[in-house]
């Protein structure tokens, strides 16, 4: 079996309303899928992290930088191909866009391997610790509204009513306003519903402490990306001095980048992003490293139904940390804002919302590979030139 073609599919559409987080507002939803075809075997699909112009740049890296190295090669040689590409790009980018591009290709190669073996990714990775995964609803993004706190509270209550037992909100408008937003959401939810707060590195350390102390008082489960990813000392101080869990790592790539975070005891909860850090091949090493440091992992998930499907398989195959009869199970992050690439892309829907409504969990599919094949009509309808 040989790789015959590697192609990017850029998708996009205008959102009904602008959404944002602490770093920017955006009006368009985009996705970057990678299709890897073989001569006498299955086709694999992957996804690259990175939106808008970043996705366009990543398409160039996928098709013009990485693809020529891999054409004619055996797609089952995933480890060999990963290291050849990484070593070839090491002088030009050990993180960021080159790793995002490599991630999409690597995920597609794992999809091919699963299909060739007739096994789901979770079984290919060594088996399942769970057949159902709890889901948390990610919403409450920043918007230009006169009463954002009221809108956040209403949205959070609606997610809880839909069956989500944990929800995550954005902050990043300043310490006082952010605390007011969190208070509004916390008071709109039952005590038993977990609340997580994502700052997208909005603060310097002093302001992060000010917000963090308020989150302690409000019983928030985790405080995500409180400071910039370069500030490892800030992460370490926050984790040591706050009772709220400190989560992060979505922008970190490869085992070498993650080693600094974990050896530095910077995180209570690690959030690797498989579509950015180097794909499944590298994710497996990062997971092992996190668990070697006894740091729980709850994957960061952002993208289409394909990214969700991949993460479902990874979460099914993830050992509990530290284990026991009643472990705190890893959760699937699910974007509840307007995302046609979650609701329309897959030929066989994942039924996330339906599973949450029934029992707060989603069943993990056991189809070969990651289990999602994009609908060709959806690819045509949303294709970007």
pLDDT above 90 for 227: yes
- Do 109 and 127 fall within a single domain? no
Calculate the alpha carbon distances from 71 to 143, 144, 168 in Å. 45, 47, 41
pLDDT above 90 for 268: yes
CB 10, CB 48: distance < 8 Å: no
CATH number at residue 172: 3.20.20.120
Strand blocks (E) in 39-95: 44-47
Q: Is residue 221 part of a domain?
A: yes
pLDDT recorded at residue 85: 98
- Residues carrying an active site annotation: 300
- Do 88 and 144 fall within a single domain? no
pLDDT recorded at residue 41: 85
Q: Is residue 370 part of a domain?
A: no
Read off the pLDDT of residues 125-166 as tens digits, 9 standing for 90 and up.
Answer: 999 999 999 999 999 999 999 999 999 999 999 999 999 999
Q: Is residue 240 part of a domain?
A: yes
Query: Residue 267: which domain range?
Result: 122-363
* Nearest in space to 290 (alpha carbons), one of 328, 325, 323, 249: 249
Q: Is residue 368 part of a domain?
A: no
Calculate the alpha carbon distances from 329 to 63, 73, 323, 363 in Å. 38, 38, 9, 14
The overall average pLDDT reported for the chain is 97
* Nearest in space to 148 (alpha carbons), one of 116, 171, 181: 181
Q: Is residue 82 part of a domain?
A: yes
Q: Is residue 76 part of a domain?
A: yes
pLDDT recorded at residue 290: 98
Among 103-117, 254-268, 314-328, the range scoring the smallest mean pLDDT is 314-328
How large is the average pLDDT for residues 32-41? 95
pLDDT above 90 for 275: yes
How large is the average pLDDT for residues 338-354? 96
- Do 141 and 100 fall within a single domain? no
Q: Is residue 371 part of a domain?
A: no
How large is the average pLDDT for residues 202-221? 98
- Do 130 and 255 fall within a single domain? yes
Phi and psi at 40, nearest 5°, equal: -135, 25
- Do 97 and 229 fall within a single domain? no
- Do 222 and 310 fall within a single domain? yes
How many independent structural domains does the chain possess?
A: 2
pLDDT above 90 for 114: yes
pLDDT recorded at residue 40: 87
Cα 351 to Cα 349: distance, rounded to the nearest angstrom? 6
Percentage of the chain beyond pLDDT 90 is: 97
- Do 197 and 237 fall within a single domain? yes
pLDDT above 90 for 267: yes
- Do 91 and 131 fall within a single domain? no
Phi and psi at 288, nearest 5°, equal: -60, -40
- Do 174 and 275 fall within a single domain? yes
Read off the pLDDT of residues 39-71 as tens digits, 9 standing for 90 and up.
Answer: 988 999 999 999 999 999 999 999 999 999 999
Q: Which two tokens stand for residue 127?
A: 């088996």
Residue with tokens 């889901």: 135
- Do 270 and 134 fall within a single domain? yes
Q: Which three-class secondary structure state does DSSP give residue 8?
A: strand
CATH number at residue 23: 3.30.390.10
Q: What's the distance, Cα to Cα, between the start and end of the chain in Å? A: 31
Cα 142 to Cα 144: distance, rounded to the nearest angstrom? 7
pLDDT above 90 for 385: no
- Do 218 and 283 fall within a single domain? yes
Contacts 24+ apart (CB under 8 A), 324-332: 328/296, 329/130, 329/133, 329/134, 330/133, 330/296, 330/297, 330/298, 330/299, 331/133, 331/134, 331/135, 331/136, 331/166, 331/298, 332/133, 332/134, 332/135, 332/136, 332/299, 332/301, 332/308, 332/362
Cα 11 to Cα 35: distance, rounded to the nearest angstrom? 13
Read off the pLDDT of residues 158-195 as tens digits, 9 standing for 90 and up.
Answer: 999 999 999 999 999 999 999 999 999 999 999 999 99
Q: Is residue 369 part of a domain?
A: no
Angle in degrees, CA 159, 327, 336, rounded to 5: 20
- Do 216 and 78 fall within a single domain? no
């Amino acid at each position: 079996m040989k790789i015959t073609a590697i192609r990017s599919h850029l998708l996009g559409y205008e959102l009904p309303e602008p959404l944002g987080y602490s770093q920017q507002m955006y009006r368009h939803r985009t996705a970057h899928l990678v299709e890897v075809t073989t001569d006498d075997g299955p086709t694999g699909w992957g996804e690259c992290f990175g939106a808008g112009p970043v996705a366009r740049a990543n398409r160039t890296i996928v098709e013009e930088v990485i693809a020529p190295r891999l054409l004619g090669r055996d797609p089952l040689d995933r480890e060999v191909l990963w290291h050849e590409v990484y070593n070839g790009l090491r002088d030009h980018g050990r993180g960021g866009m080159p790793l995002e591009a490599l991630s999409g290709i690597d995920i597609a190669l794992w999809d091919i391997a699963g299909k060739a073996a007739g096994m789901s990714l979770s079984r290919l990775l060594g088996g399942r610790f769970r057949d159902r995964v709890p889901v948390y609803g990610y919403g409450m993004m920043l918007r230009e509204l006169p009463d954002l706190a009221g809108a956040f509270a209403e949205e959070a209550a609606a997610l809880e009513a839909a069956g989500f037992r944990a929800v995550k909100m954005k902050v990043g408008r300043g310490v006082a306003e952010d605390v007011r937003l969190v208070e509004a959401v916390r008071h709109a939810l039952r005590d038993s519903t977990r609340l997580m707060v994502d700052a997208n590195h909005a603060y310097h350390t002093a302001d992060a402490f000010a917000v963090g102390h308020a989150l302690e008082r409000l019983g928030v489960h985790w405080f995500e990306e409180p400071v910039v990813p370069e500030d490892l000392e800030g992460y370490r101080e926050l984790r040591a001095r706050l009772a709220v869990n400190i989560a992060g790592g979505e922008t970190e790539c490869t085992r070498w980048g993650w080693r600094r975070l974990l050896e530095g005891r910077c995180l209570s909860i690690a959030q690797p992003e498989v579509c950015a850090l180097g794909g499944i091949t590298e994710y497996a090493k990062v997971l092992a490293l996190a668990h070697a440091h006894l740091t729980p992992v709850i994957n960061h998930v952002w993208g289409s139904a394909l990214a969700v499907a991949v993460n479902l398989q990874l979460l099914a195959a993830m050992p509990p940390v530290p284990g026991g009869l009643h472990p705190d199970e890893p959760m699937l992050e699910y974007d509840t804002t307007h995302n046609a690439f979650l609701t329309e892309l897959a030929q066989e829907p994942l039924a996330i919302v339906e599973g949450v409504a029934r029992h707060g969990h989603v069943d993990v599919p056991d189809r070969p590979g990651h289990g999602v094949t994009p609908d060709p009509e959806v690819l045509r309808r949303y294709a970007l030139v």
